Amino acid sequence: MKRRLVLLGAPGSGKGTQAEMITRQFGIPVTSPGAILRREKDLGTPLGQETAEVLQRGDLVSDKIIIELIEDWLRLHGGHGFVFDGFPRTLPQAESLMSILARLRTALDLAIWLEVSEQTVRDRIAGRLQCGACGFTTSVKSAKFAERPVCPYCDGPLVRRNDDDMAVLQKRLSEFETKTQPLASFYGKMSILHRIDGNRDRETVFSDISRLIEGKASA
């Protein structure tokens, strides 16, 4: 089974949703730079406060900080595999990740690229809710089962993310085009890139990802 994965795609492509489904189905630890940084913010660390302001503007946190956080996380939690949600975002980050994995004497199994249209991105971002406690992501439509939407896993509050503002989204999409798109070529040359149509419902997308993880299909 493939247990070392990166999930890539534009904001709103479903990376967080699929990462959550992967860890629940296969037990592979999952994280993202955003999740690590939000924990720093919740703990009230200087790093958390500083990076929260950067993210709210729609800017990217420096590669140096991200790489250090990722390497620390891998040493603590990555021994039995990992799923990175939206990391790496830049070519230098991808190269740094390969160096980290080489030092840890392991390798990347899959780079899964969720391809979505810009309209899908805008629709999803407009209706996205996230658990303030565990980070579970859902939509306003799916959360209408309660007068006060709560997480189905930990009963935490489902709220709008600060960086889901449409003006911020446009900046994030521009960053994605210029800084993240080159990773398709980077991982393509390594023969581990698999493209999946992320415009479909989450269960259909997850079915395709599951077959990749289980080594039963190619994309």
pLDDT (tens digit, 9 = 90+) per residue, 11-54? 889 998 899 899 999 999 999 887 888 788 888 888 888 888 88
Q: What percent of the chain has pLDDT over 90?
A: 44
Q: Which of 84, 126, 113, 86 lies closest to 197, judged by CA?
A: 113
Residue 109 lies in a domain: yes
Q: What is the pLDDT of residue 219?
A: 46
Residue 135 lies in a domain: no
Residue 149 lies in a domain: no
Nearest-angstrom CA–CA distance, 20 and 150: 17
Residues designated catalytic: 15, 89, 128, 161, 172
Residue 64 lies in a domain: yes
Query: Looking up tokens 């990992």, which residue turns up?
Result: 82
Nearest-angstrom CA–CA distance, 202 and 14: 8
What's the predicted TM-score (pTM) here? 0.76
Higher pLDDT, 184 or 40: 184
Q: What is the pLDDT of residue 204?
A: 97
What's the structural domain count of the chain?
1
Task: Kindly report the CATH number assigned to the domain that includes residue 45.
Answer: 3.40.50.300
The answer to whether 112 touches 6, Cβ cutoff 8 Å, is yes
Residue 136 lies in a domain: no
Residue 150 lies in a domain: no
Q: Which domain holds residue 96?
A: 4-117+166-213
pLDDT (tens digit, 9 = 90+) per residue, 151-165? 777 878 877 766 566
Query: Looking up tokens 């993202």, which residue turns up?
Result: 32
